[in-house]
Amino acid sequence: MNKMSEIKFEARVKATGLRPKPDDLAMLEAMVRELDRAASMLRGPRSYAEEPLNAFRLKPA
Amino acid sequence: MQPFLTIAEAGALIAAKKLSPVELTRLCLDRIEKLDGQLHSFLMVTEDRALADAKASEARMMSAALKGPLDGIPIGHKDIYNTAGIRTTGHSRLLEHNVPTEDSVVGQKWAAAGTVLMGKLATHEFAIGGPSFDLPWPPARNPWNTDHFTAGSSSGTGASVAAGLVLGGTGSDTGGSIRGPSALCGIAGIKPTYGLSSRRGVLPLSQTLDHTGPMAWTVQDCALLLQAMAGHDPLDPASANRPVPNFSADLGKDAKGLRIGVVRHFHEVDNPVSPATLKGIEDALDIFRAQGAVISDVTLSPMMDYNAPGWLILTAEAYAVHEPWLKERFNDYGELLRDRLALGALLSATEYVQALRRRRVLCLETRDAMADLDILITASAPAEAPKIHEVPKWAMLEKPNFTMPFNLTGLPALSVCTGYGAGGLPVSMQIVGKPFAEATVFRAGHAYEMATEWRGKRPAMSTALTG
């Protein structure tokens, strides 16, 4: 991404409608990186065709 | 009267007219008065209500009209369970003056069973984010050593049950909030199968991960409490419409013939546990083996694979619950909670969908891995309770937690005390069952408790009161 068009974290938060204290921003930004890391673990070349659709409909043992 | 009675013991004595519910309630109120200034496990003590409940129970006892094994038993509700006419705060400034008009469904059921309501118990703010020191009430302390953490979010229930201020209480569990404090406070607590007990009238956090469940001193007591809270609720969309079995049916059987899978990589590789925790698990396996259980190791996906979608789903769903307040009253939340929930605003719909897809795969994988097993065993917590001021703010991915996999998959999971570490603080293990097979989980947990001495030891601060 062009440096000029990068969205600053503060603006990204502001766009959500939240109004954190300026002191909270650094911690929040650090935690977003951790969230992104968790999300990256779920991105993968998985086929929808092979995906179980109803696995969470639990049945008795 | 013995100083520390289990629910089963007290219920039997009341049924035999050998124990007055009023006397038992006064004992607990006295203990609350003497200890809770250090423990902070109660946000509100409902003394008048407790004595009224106890007197009504005593009248039933005298007229041979007891409602069952919970009649006259002092209990507390985590302060996210609505209580009619009694303040319900979620341990948050946002609901500091909130007085519901109706009891939660679980509260109604326990009241109908004759329990004695002692008060409302501390939680992490809205069942996530603690320990916090910037809320209207302090966090609960661990009765085994008040410098230490209780875990959460059902922190007040864990502390008050362990200290003997109540005989049982409610918890809720979205990522481990029943099993974590049960583990660190050295009591028993079960997250039942998803949908087994109603969440209606309980402040929500994450609709596909939230569970309600009981916490008590023993596994047997958890079975009695769950019996009175389970059942279909047509107004809870997650509620399972199926008959409630007798959860105590298999108590008294040992582990002979049980097929036990040990998820060794969870507690030895994915998040290695403390020596005392590991010894507790190995000793438990020896006991089960000696009783005739068939034990084998089982391999699931790495624990982190369960934690990543679990935390993303929780964050997204919790943000959806709190978004209106977050936009209006962001700084009225405690720091831990507002930082945690704000992440949900920055999470894309794509990430949520991918997490749900991964969840389905993990549910199937776990089901298949358990096909020839009755229960799984791993840790409930990595170690003894840390000091309360040394708890890291958030550590989502550094060390995955042992409890989230079973919120994600909805399986019943019980934490049982397996002894005490070098500092005298409890350690524990987790027993996991197949969907709606709580009776088997209770059977294993009770067989273990009966074979060990751990239930005979209470925190020193409580035993000191008895002289």
Closest by CA position to B192, among listed B381, B442, B362: B442
Q: Which domain holds residue B409?
A: 7-466
Residues of A in contact with B436 (CB under 8 A): 58, 60-61
Average pLDDT over residues A11-32: 87
Residue in chain B closest to A36 (alpha carbons) equals B347
Average pLDDT over residues A18-43: 86
Is the bond preceding residue B160 a cis peptide, omega within 30 degrees? no
Domain count, chain B: 1
Active site residue B78: yes
How close is the nearest chain A Cα to the Cα of B408, in Å? 9
Do A61 and B394 lie within an 8 Å CB cutoff?
no
Active site residue B399: no
Q: Is residue B1 part of a domain?
A: no
This complex has an ipTM of: 0.78
Q: Is residue B2 part of a domain?
A: no
Q: Is residue B122 part of a domain?
A: yes
Q: Is residue B237 part of a domain?
A: yes
Predicted pLDDT at B463: 96
Residue in chain A closest to B437 (alpha carbons) equals A61
Report helix, strand or coil for A23: helix
pLDDT tens-digit readout, B420-467: 998 999 999 999 999 999 999 999 999 999 999 999 999 999 999 976
- Closest partner residue to B339 (CB to CB) among A12, A27, A59 is A27
Predicted pLDDT at A58: 67
Residue in chain B closest to A27 (alpha carbons) equals B339
Closest by CA position to B229, among listed B103, B418, B387, B98: B103
- Closest partner residue to B345 (CB to CB) among A16, A42, A59 is A16
Do B312 and A42 lie within an 8 Å CB cutoff?
yes
- Closest partner residue to A17 (CB to CB) among B240, B327, B354 is B327
Active site residue B153: yes
**Tokens encoding B436:** 């709606």
Report helix, strand or coil for B253: strand
| Mutant choice from A32, A35, A50 vs B, greatest count of B C-beta within 10 A | A35
pLDDT tens-digit readout, B200-213: 999 999 999 999 99
Q: Is residue B71 part of a domain?
A: yes
Asked if the model's pLDDT at residue A14 lies above 50, the reply is: yes
SS (H, E, C) B29-79: HHHHHHHHHHHCCEEEECHHHHHHHHHHHHHHHHCCCCCCCCCCCEEEEEC
Do B435 and A60 lie within an 8 Å CB cutoff?
yes
- Closest partner residue to B397 (CB to CB) among A24, A37, A56 is A37
Asked if the model's pLDDT at residue A11 lies above 60, the reply is: yes
| Mutant choice from A21, A31, A50 vs B, greatest count of B C-beta within 10 A | A31
- Helical packing angle, A25-40 and B303-329, nearest 10°: 140
Q: How many of the other CB atoms lie within 10 Å of CB of B382?
A: 18
Residues of B in contact with A52 (CB under 8 A): 360-361, 363-364
Among all chains, which residue has been given the structure tokens 């502390």? B159
Residues of B in contact with A17 (CB under 8 A): 327, 345
Active-site residue, from B177, B239, B248, B380: B177
CATH number for B229: 3.90.1300.10
Q: How many CB pairs under 8 A join A and B?
A: 110
Tally the residues of chain A. Answer: 61
Closest by CA position to B98, among listed B198, B29, B206, B201: B201
Is the bond preceding residue B131 a cis peptide, omega within 30 degrees? yes
Among all chains, which residue has been given the structure tokens 């097993």? B373
Residues of A in contact with B194 (CB under 8 A): 58
- Residue B43 near residue B156, CB atoms below 8 Å: yes
Do A19 and B355 lie within an 8 Å CB cutoff?
no
Report which DSSP code applies to B378.
E
Do A61 and B346 lie within an 8 Å CB cutoff?
no
| Mutant choice from B196, B303, B346, B365 vs A, greatest count of A C-beta within 10 A | B346
Least confident of A48-52, B119-123, B148-152, B397-401: A48-52
Q: Return all residues near B65 (Cβ < 8 A) that are at least 6 apart.
A: none
Residues of B in contact with A10 (CB under 8 A): none
pLDDT tens-digit readout, B302-318: 999 999 999 999 999 99
Asked if the model's pLDDT at residue B376 lies above 50, the reply is: yes
Do B435 and A28 lie within an 8 Å CB cutoff?
no
Q: Give me chain B's average pLDDT, please.
A: 96
Asked if the model's pLDDT at residue B396 lies above 70, the reply is: no
**Tokens encoding B429:** 């293990």
Q: What is the pTM of this model?
A: 0.95
Asked if the model's pLDDT at residue A1 lies above 50, the reply is: no
Active-site residue, from B57, B92, B153, B160: B153
- Residues of A near B (Cβ–Cβ under 8 Å) read 12-13, 16-21, 24, 27-28, 31-32, 34-35, 37-39, 41-43, 46, 51-53, 55-56, 58-61
Q: Is residue B98 part of a domain?
A: yes
Do A42 and B308 lie within an 8 Å CB cutoff?
yes
pLDDT tens-digit readout, B137-193: 999 999 999 999 999 999 999 999 999 999 999 999 999 999 999 999 999 999 999
Q: How far is CA B368 from CA A55, B148, B371, B407, B431, in A?
A: 11, 39, 5, 17, 17
